[in-house]
């Protein structure tokens, strides 16, 4: 199954013009079936949207403002880091946020958010039926429909205010295609490294919806913007503006903050901990290249990587593959390599990673930050969010 997932992902990110030259016979044999499935998926997407548009399927209005953080493609777009930034900011302003997440892959993202937001007023609801989940939390904690959003993000520096346990705002993690809840603010994340893949819909390509769906965005965020050239940013903006001529565009990156040991999550280590070391990046995330590139910038002697599909649940057979790779690296470089994983991988399988006890396993903690580029400042982002929620 993992081999098939890898093959589908490779097809999705190979330009259509390069199918014959870059793909193996196995990959090419999958394309007719994937094309058929993609056509059926396209019909289903259009039908579903029409059912909601004509009120055949019900759209629920929650008694608090709803912010959707989503994207058009699968994985690696920075949705969860943006959700964390928003939730932390609301909590700091005294507005208790409710995060609604589906809980894919053992709810690794929900576990990561719970750990990151521990000690704040943020609440996390996990479940496929997000309306039911939201109503359950709203009934349990109550809600305030008159949150003072005019005061939200008013200054560059957030001053912590007393927290009201009543829910003041809901944040949909991966919410763009979740149509059963009315969105008051639509934030769409775009991965600058691989924005649209081969431009086909799932499963032939990585698109969940056609690019025209960008017209629904109130705010667009180009993530990993620091890892691409300016000409790539310009090309992205050109594509976005064809679908959405007015929504503000912001630029973000993931900034490494520190490491912690897999066996001791309380101890923070400097990002220089991997300097001059042999590193194996182990990941099961949507797009691993950004993770690998950031590790390479920390000055290790050599960086190898093992990439699994998004939300991959590591099993004993996977660990044997990892050990084999580590032993080969140790033999080649004469020193024990260091394993580095993302927070998401750690929160999905901490017990499994501990089994690599003969090697140091470090977890990289990063935070989303805005790039001060073309008026893409965090202050302007806060102001835009405040304006949209004030209109509610």
> Is the domain of 321 the same as that of 198?
no
Residues facing 125 on adjacent strands: 100
Q: Is residue 212 part of a domain?
A: yes
Are both 345 and 320 inside the same structural domain? yes
Q: Is residue 216 part of a domain?
A: yes
Task: Give the model confidence (pLDDT) of 214-237 as tens digits.
Answer: 999 999 999 999 999 999 999 999
Residues 202 and 149 grouped into a single domain? yes
- CA-based torsion, 206, 175, 173, 89: positive or negative: positive
Residue 358 burial by CB count (10 A; 0-12/13-18/19+): exposed, middle or buried? exposed
Question: For residue 291, what are its two tokens?
Answer: 């993770």
Looking at the predicted structure, is the pLDDT value of residue 278 above 80?
yes
Q: What percent of the chain has pLDDT over 70?
A: 94
Co-location of 226 and 301 in the same domain: no
Residue 158: what pLDDT?
47
CA 272/CA 198 separation, integer angstroms: 37
What confidence score (pLDDT) does residue 152 get? 59
The reported pLDDT for the residue numbered 123 is 97
Region of poorest pLDDT, from 120-124, 155-159, 235-239, 362-366: 155-159
Helix (H), strand (E) counts: the chain? 12, 12
Q: Return the pLDDT at 151.
A: 57
What mean pLDDT is predicted for residues 94-107?
85
- Mean pLDDT across the stretch 9-38? 94
- Distance (Å, whole) CA 353 – CA 348: 10
Same domain, 173 and 213: yes
Q: How far apart are the first and last CA of the chain?
A: 46
Q: Is residue 246 part of a domain?
A: yes
- Count up the domains in the chain and report the number: 3
Q: What percent of the chain has pLDDT over 90?
A: 81
Residue 90 pLDDT grade (very low, low, confident, very high; cuts 50, 70, 90): very high
pLDDT band for 147, please (50, 70, 90 cuts). low
Work out the average pLDDT over 328-356.
95
Half-sphere exposure of 240 (CA within 13 A, CB side): 26
Confidence band for 161, pLDDT divided at 50, 70 and 90: low
User: Which residue has better confidence, 375 or 135?
Assistant: 135
pLDDT of 163 strictly over 90? no
The CATH number that applies at residue 303 is 3.40.50
Which residues have C-beta within 8 Å of that of residue 265, sequence separation ≥ 6? 115, 363
Rounded distance between C-alpha atoms, residue 81 and residue 61, angstroms: 25
Q: Does the pLDDT value for residue 159 go beyond 70?
A: no
* Average pLDDT, rounded, for the chain: 92
Kindly state whether residue 73 falls inside one of the protein's structural domains.
yes
Task: Round to whole Å and give the CA distance between 244 and 247.
Answer: 6
Task: Give the range of the structural domain holding residue 363, as residue numbers without chain letter.
Answer: 255-367
58 within some domain: no
CATH number of the domain where residue 91 is located: 3.40.50.300
Degrees (nearest 5) of the Cα angle 36, 77, 341? 110
pLDDT tens, 279-336?
999 999 988 999 999 999 999 999 999 999 888 889 999 999 999 999 999 999 999 9
- The answer on 190 and 289 residing in a single domain is no
Task: Tell me: do 172 and 101 sit in the same domain.
Answer: yes
The residue among 146 and 59 whose pLDDT is bigger is 59
Do 47 and 89 sit in the same domain of this protein?
no
In a domain, 61, yes or no: no
Residue 204 has a CB neighbour count (10 Å cut-off) of 26
281 vs 128 pLDDT, higher one: 281
Q: What is the pTM of this model?
A: 0.94
């Amino acid at each position: 199954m993992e081999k098939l997932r890898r093959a589908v992902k490779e097809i999705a990110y190979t330009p259509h013009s390069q199918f014959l030259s870059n793909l193996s016979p196995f990959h090419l044999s999958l394309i007719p079936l994937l094309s058929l499935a993609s056509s059926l998926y396209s019909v289903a997407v259009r039908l579903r949207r029409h059912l909601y548009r004509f009120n055949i399927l019900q759209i629920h209005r929650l008694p608090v403002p709803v912010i959707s953080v989503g994207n058009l493609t699968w994985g690696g777009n920075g949705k969860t880091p943006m959700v964390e930034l928003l939730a932390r900011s609301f909590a700091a302003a005294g507005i208790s946020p409710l995060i609604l997440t589906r809980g894919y892959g053992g709810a690794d993202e929900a576990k990561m958010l719970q750990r990151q937001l521990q000690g704040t007023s943020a609440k996390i609801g996990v479940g496929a039926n997000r309306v039911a989940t939201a109503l359950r939390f709203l009934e349990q904690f109550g809600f305030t429909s008159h949150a003072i959003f005019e005061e939200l993000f008013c200054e560059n520096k957030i001053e912590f205010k007393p927290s009201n346990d009543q829910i003041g705002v809901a944040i949909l993690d991966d919410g763009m295609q979740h149509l059963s809840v009315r969105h008051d603010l639509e934030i769409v994340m775009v991965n600058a490294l691989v924005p649209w893949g081969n431009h086909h819909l799932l499963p032939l390509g990585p698109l969940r919806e056609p690019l025209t769906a960008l017209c629904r965005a109130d705010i667009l965020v180009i993530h990993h913007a620091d890892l691409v050239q300016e000409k790539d940013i310009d090309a992205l903006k050109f594509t976005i503006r064809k679908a959405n001529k007015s929504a503000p565009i912001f630029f973000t990156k993931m900034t490494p903050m520190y490491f912690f040991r897999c066996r001791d999550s309380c101890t923070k280590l400097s990002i220089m901990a991997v300097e001059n070391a042999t590193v194996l990046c182990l990941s099961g995330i949507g797009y691993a290249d950004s993770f690998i590139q950031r590790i390479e910038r920390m000055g290790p002697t050599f960086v190898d990587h093992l990439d699994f599909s998004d939300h991959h649940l590591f099993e004993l057979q996977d660990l044997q593959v990892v050990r084999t790779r580590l032993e080969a690296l140790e033999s080649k470089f004469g020193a024990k390599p260091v394993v580095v994983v993302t927070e998401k991988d750690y929160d999905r399988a901490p017990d499994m990673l501990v089994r690599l006890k003969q090697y140091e396993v470090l977890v990289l903690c990063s935070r989303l930050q805005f790039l001060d580029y073309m008026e893409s400042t965090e202050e302007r982002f806060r102001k835009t969010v405040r304006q949209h929620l004030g209109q509610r």
